[in-house]
Amino acid sequence: MSHSPLPTPHSPLLPGATIGVFGSGQLGRMLAMVAQRMGYRVHIFSPDRGSPAGQVADCEITADYTDQEAVRAFVQGVDAVTFEFENVPAHVAMIANEQGVPVRPGGRVLRTAQQRLREKTFFAEANLPTAPFAPVRSLADLENGLETIGSPAILKTAAYGYDGKGQVRIERAGDAQAAWHAIGKQDAILEDYVDFEREVSMVAARGANGAFVHYGLIENRHHNHILDVSIAPANVAKQTVAVAAQYTRMVMEKLDAVGVLCVEFFLCRDGRLLLNEMAPRPHNSGHLTIEAAVTSQFEQQLRAVCRLPLGSTELLRPAAMVNLLGDLWRDGEPDWAALAAFPTAKLHLYGKADARLGRKMGHITVTAKTADEALETALAARVALRR
Ligand code: ADP
Ligand code: MG
């Protein structure tokens, strides 16, 4: 779809333009909602019909990412392309480039974030601190790696990991073979197990003109390797935030990333920050920016994709977010009526029909005078939902 006046590569895409999103989960859904609020059209490319993002978009194209004809046709119908998850095949960005449709973030960022070994190697080459790690392509690599790194350690598949999938903790060198089998004998990365004080993340955005903004540090608590709770602002020293911002900015500049990007950190007991991983898109820990910040991470992604100036990242109130996993549906539909007792709780549901254990179905955000109060209320609201 082309719009008048004809856009030059440097002019912003204004309301009325069509944004094409590859991926169709909750991140695409929340992006679509904010884009529509601002007068944009949203087309979703989804492997399945009736997806969380497809339900709210102007148009949902159902095809496989490997179907290059379908990708080409989809790209022809939009003014810019973005992603809501990073495991999209590289040809998607290439096809968009060929057709002169801007892709933000670009293929290089996706390629780096898609594979844990490439990602950690990129951090290391940029002199960004990480836990000691080693590439593992065979059982012998794993045994050698364990000798250098020591145990406990954690073995992660290099590709397609999320929410703790494809990870095993190794307690002692004798467990190497079992761990190698457990991850399906595929390319992997071995990491020192970090005895961190806390986990924190920085959600940031970079505009096409190089402008950089961030939301400060958010504290994240995981349960079974899945994000459970996020709290903003994290209770950390100002200097820690400044260091995280410097690292995050360096990541985005080195990859020339335009859009939203989140870096997950381990905060060590001695105050050092180690980079764990990055996501070149809005992040679960940034969902609370919808209620807590002047500009949400999703609006920020839209702004960057459209070459609009980035919005203010100012935090209006301390906030806490709790995830609602499929487990909450185990004994039937959660008790939504119980939320009536929590007037500050903001419910988000992603429109997923199948409430599998561990699947992210929705979240609740609470803003309050203090982060502690927001957390207490958000946790209580979630408990009240349980049947
Ligand atoms: P993903 O989020 O893609 O599943 P992560 O590497 O972020 O993968 O791992 C998920 C969680 O597992 C982390 O947030 C952290 O709680 C834990 N974890 C991962 N790597 C390490 C490590 N090297 N040391 C300690 N804990 C880890
Ligand atoms: Mg993670």
- The alpha carbon of 46 is separated from its chain's Cα centroid by a whole number of angstroms, namely 18
Q: Measure 164 CA to ligand 1 centroid, in angstroms.
A: 7
- The alpha carbon of 239 is separated from its chain's Cα centroid by a whole number of angstroms, namely 25
Which alpha helices (DSSP H) does 219-288 contain, by range?
Answer: 238-254
Measuring from atom 15 of ligand 1, which residue has the nearest CA? 225
Q: What is the pLDDT of residue 32?
A: 98
> Quick one: tokens of 251?
């990541």
- pLDDT of 4 > 80? The answer is no
Which of 118, 167, 201 most suits a substitution to test ligand 1, by most atoms within 8 Å of the C-beta? 167
Cβ 262 vs Cβ 282: under 8 Å: yes
Each residue's pLDDT tens digit, 354-369: 999 999 999 999 999 9
- Give the residue among 125, 123, 109, 158 at the shortest CA–CA distance from 264: 123
Residue 270, number of CB atoms within 10 A of its CB: 6
Residues in the ligand 1 pocket, defined by CB under 6 Å: 131, 154, 161-164, 191, 193-194, 199, 222, 225, 264, 276-277
The 10 Å CB-count burial string (b at 16+, else e) for 360-384 is bbbbbbbbbeebeebbebbbebbeb
The whole-number average pLDDT for the span 206-234 is: 97
Lowest mean pLDDT segment, chosen from 137-141, 161-165, 168-172, 244-248: 161-165
Ligand nearest the Cα atom of residue 169: 1
Query: What structural domains does the chain harbor?
Result: 18-103 (3.40.50.20), 132-192 (3.30.1490.20), 198-385 (3.30.470.20)
- Give the residue among 41, 24, 150, 172 at the shortest CA–CA distance from 85: 24
10 against 245, higher pLDDT:
245
pTM confidence score:
0.96
Residue 20, number of CB atoms within 10 A of its CB: 27
